[in-house]
Amino acid sequence: MKRLLLRFINDKKWRKAKIRYWLQDPFWGALDFFCHYLFRLLPLGVPAKIGAFLGPIAASLRFQKADKRADNNLKQLKPELSDQDREQLRHEMWRNVGRTMSEYSIADLLWKNGRVTVENSDYILKSREQGRPIIFVTAHLGNWEVISGYCIDNKLSILSLYQPERNRFVAKIAEISRQRIGTQTVAAGGNALRQMCRHLAGGGALWLAIDEYKNGQVWGPLLGREISSRASNAAYAVRLAQRFNAVIIPYRTERKPFSHFKVTFYEPLTVGNNAGDALKKLDRLIESWVLAHPEQWYMLHELRL
């Protein structure tokens, strides 16, 4: 007991980690669980309104460093805008974050209640007719999870790669939400690549976000940065497409008012022998989405420019 007390006093990093694990995470986790189940009792459009209200408040109280990072990123990504316009974009970004988090409680209901429209679904039908595996790639825009209902209704067996949340309570909420939707998931790391290969070989499809956050950085799009892409989700998508003769189908989710969404599928990409060109095409495409709607990009406050 004495040793633990001395370490608590002298080891700042260890003390901070223990306080976060045993006090801060349970407190915020209990609040998140309460809101999660409360929101399922409310009319479908109400949770997003509450989330939009709470998002900027959370930024000012809990995520001050992330808020400053988002401000710095917007100055570099949108230098042509005035300070007032960038401030408005940042404010809308946090409203979108709040909406997205609140919609975890009702993610399974959005598709069932006609809140999601889909464009260019013929790309999927043609790929399936050709008997080729499909790798869906996207970015964390709008609410990227809403596509799940469409895929399940169209009998697409999709395995989704995800990065586990640090907070064990938030991770549990995400797990519950995905179970309600009915998606198959695999956590990044470990034998994830083996599972993805097995799924593709069995005729299934994959889902990969290629703007993933890991090792303290958002790996895509590059946005002019010089970082290695060999271990990125985009690189995995390209290599898997080559190995299994799969097509890569990018899709973008755009948030509309009142928890409505438009999902747009883009022309399938066949990799062939030139993986480098495929990576560049994907990066340019995702970059164009991000720059068009930075306020809907969930990774804006995680990006290190």
For the stretch 168-206, pLDDT in tens is: 888 888 888 888 877 788 888 778 889 989 999 988 899
What does the alpha-carbon distance between residue 93 and residue 290 come to, in Å, rounded to a whole number? Answer: 12
What does the alpha-carbon distance between residue 67 and residue 32 come to, in Å, rounded to a whole number? Answer: 21
| Predicted structure pTM score | 0.89
End-to-end CA distance of the chain: 44
Residues in Cβ contact with 155 at an 8 Å cutoff, skipping those fewer than 6 apart: none
- State residue 55's pLDDT score: 94
What does the alpha-carbon distance between residue 92 and residue 87 come to, in Å, rounded to a whole number? Answer: 9
Task: Name the nearest CA neighbour of 305 among 40, 77, 41.
Answer: 77
Percentage with pLDDT > 70 across the chain: 96
The answer to whether 18 and 4 are in contact (CB under 8 A) is no
- State residue 29's pLDDT score: 86
Collapse the DSSP code of 137 into the 3-class scheme (helix H, G, I; strand E, B; otherwise coil) and give the result.
strand
- State residue 13's pLDDT score: 81
The answer to whether 250 and 278 are in contact (CB under 8 A) is no
Rounded to the nearest integer, the mean pLDDT of the chain is: 89
For the chain, how many residues are written? 305
- State residue 137's pLDDT score: 96
User: Which residue type sits at 203?
Assistant: G
Write phi, then psi, for 127 (nearest 5 degrees).
Answer: -65, -40
- State residue 181's pLDDT score: 79
What does the alpha-carbon distance between residue 101 and residue 112 come to, in Å, rounded to a whole number? Answer: 19
**281, burial (CB in 10 Å: exposed 0-12, middle 13-18, buried 19+):** middle
